[in-house]
Structure 1
Amino acid sequence: MPADIRLQLRDNTLILSDNGGRSLYFEHLFPGEDGYSRSESLWLVRGGVLRLDEGHRLAALWQALPEELRLSPHRYLATNSPQGPWWLLGWCERVPEADEVLPAPLPPYRVLTGLVDRFGRTQTFHREAAGEFSGEITGVTDGAGRHFRLVLTTQAQRAEEARQQAISGGTEPSAFPDTLPGYTEYGRDNGIRLSAVWLTHDPEYPENLPAAPLVRYGWTPRGELAVVYDRSNTQVRSFTYDDKYRGRMVAHRHTGRPEIRYRYDSDGRVTEQLNPAGLSYTYQYEKDRITITDSLNRREVLHTAGEGGLKRVVKKEHADGSVTQSQFDAVGRLRAQTDAAGRTTEYSPDVVTGLITRITTPDGRASAFYYNHHSQLTSATGPDGLEIRREYDEWGNQLNEENPHQLQQLIRLPGSSMMRSPACIITATAIMTRCGGGISLRIRLG
């Protein structure tokens, strides 16, 4: 799974990791407590309480969860927005060993078991309980009750399939090893890959299931993604890799488009991007500076500051010779920008949320912005004192917007239910504009 995550439970530390090798560290949480990663704008909450504090930014989203999840102190939940979704972290079923004492204690880790959006709709991940794919996601049930089967393959299975295809085609089998290195520069590799996705159950059309997979993936002998086929068995993507460096993509193509190729330096950085039907680019790297030149010989220079995830572009030399600059705070949030004429615009982010609360233009005039607990803009006041207001329903959908220049109103028909079907919403937009001393009113449905 490209977005699988895992939580390690240690004595005084919680480590949230994705399958790309990135990790976030949180302090130990008691039931109902939460931790927040400012760099990633991500919350980690431990279950065990029916409700969060009324003033908590996640209080409304918490109530969208089934009660059994909210009350379980053994489950953890993560989200990067007050509007959701929740990522559920639990444990997968497994077949106990013959001599194992039951009930077995919960494992010292949690894995991704599903998603819940702000309407309470769930997406459940099913993991294998035993066998060679034990612990891997092999099925997904979405909020509409449809079930998808994820077909996984091992390196040995793909190697055998390649040999059988060569035999049936009367060709010499290519080199296809039965195993892959257990560890690469990208992390551990068990050789398991997703090969196809099937729709196996649809409650709306139970007798009309597709006879072919919705998508199919092909892999190189080194375990790299090579091709993607859609439900009509048409190849829609292809990828080429460096012969020497496993996983380094040197070309890719969308069906019907030209192939884009890449060249790298000895440090694995892209030095050329070649597009036969458009602009190509070269990249030159120096300490805290990147020079980008296109095939028309136009040049831009990016000056950077900071390290790791906090590295930012602080100055940009444009192709026309102009220079713009940016300033950031200690956690990488934009604080000011200076244009080519030397005029500086200042930005004031909220300390906790990072949302912009004030913008001051070069002439000293300021605009203020206000938000609700869902991080949605509720009002904005411009330098001229004019104010824009927005209202939302309990699900976070905008109901209307009022401002001095136009009125937009989104109307939900009586009886429509976001819980039943978010598609069952008809919106009417009324826009009033001044024209020639009068007022023009235009209604648009859709």
Structure 2
Amino acid sequence: MVKIEPFEIEQWMDRLEGTPGVLNISETCAASVSHDDLVRFCEDKNAPSPLSLSKKLTYGAIRGSEALRQRVTALLDRASDAEPLPAENVIITQGAIAANFLLFYTLVGPGDHVICVYPTYQQLYSVSESLGAEVSLWKLKAENGYVPDVGELAGLVRANTKMIVINNPNNPTGSTIPKAVLEEIVAFAKQRGIIVFSDEVYSPLYHSLPAGQQAPPSVLTLGYEKTVATGSMSKAFALAGIRIGWIASRDRAIIDAVAAARDYTTISVSQLDDQVASYALSEPVVRPLLERNTALARSNLALLSAFVEKHASVCSWVKPTAGTTALVQFRKNGVPVDDPSFVLDLLDKTKVLFMPASPCFGRGVDFKGSVRLGYVCETGVLVEGLERLGRYIEEHF
């Protein structure tokens, strides 16, 4: 029997999100939009409806519709002079979580070694371990802005290293790996024939980069065939409910292997979901949709930043530059709180929910006292949640 570690973040979310009256500032998607919202966003008022309800609901295109795969490649090729990625090099999946699992299931097994950034979404290292691979955690440091130190790779790599896993933007820290660092990672891997897998589920929501720093490109544009990227409509595009994600690679052999493995699982995605995603990524819709989500992220991050500054005696962080999540440490009398107990007590007394970092993102004592917040929710939810959190701090710290 395969030994699978409990997926802590998902189990915590499942247990607590349904709490009556909860103010959820743990949600990691940009505030969700509706089908009608997408139509209102569309800059071409003559564009056809997102859904063709007269179309027969067969399995549809097994790897995803041509229209959707072409729009995913346009997203991945953004602001790049690299050779365009063919639509045939994309597979549409049930969200990025299915994309990530399928990729590991296809490419990693006993005898393999994987290097994975840490902290990150637990799936990105636990699935490889469950499949029998050895995993080395590439620890990100707060003092380096949670940007990977490429100089450490030489001490982590082995003769059997199959894959380097990165997450850009990072969950839970909201940090960005700049283009120059991505190029160093790719160059290191290319010299050794190692696959570079980049979970880009929060891309392209690079909303608060330092002045003069450009948004990094997809890893697929950096001139190395053995690169793979996953993404979805859930986070940056505020459409988690349609369950659409993707796997893309410059290496057609990887794509064909993934497609063969998927024959044993989901076969294809819903035609209706595919149609909505294709509409959302169409040129008249995707620009205003991303503008809305970027503006929401910037304004909400300013609110959260003001809160952390106001409560600097008990709060500390590395301010996010991208994505929708932040990692904030809370201290009481100068000592990091017990974050699981803190989260549960806060929920009980205020109905405010965020996630404890030490069980959900850490091993051992890593990230003690820290919580992950999802701040790109509806602004009113964030404002009310921070007000309640502030009162809690005044009463209990």
- Tell me if both proteins adopt one fold, taking TM over 0.5 as the criterion: no
* Greater relative contact order, per chain length (Cα 8 Å cut-off, separation 6+): 2
Please give the TM-score of this superposition, normalised by the length of structure 1.
0.19
The higher radius of gyration belongs to 1
Higher strand fraction (1 or 2): 1
Please give the TM-score of this superposition, normalised by the length of structure 2.
0.21
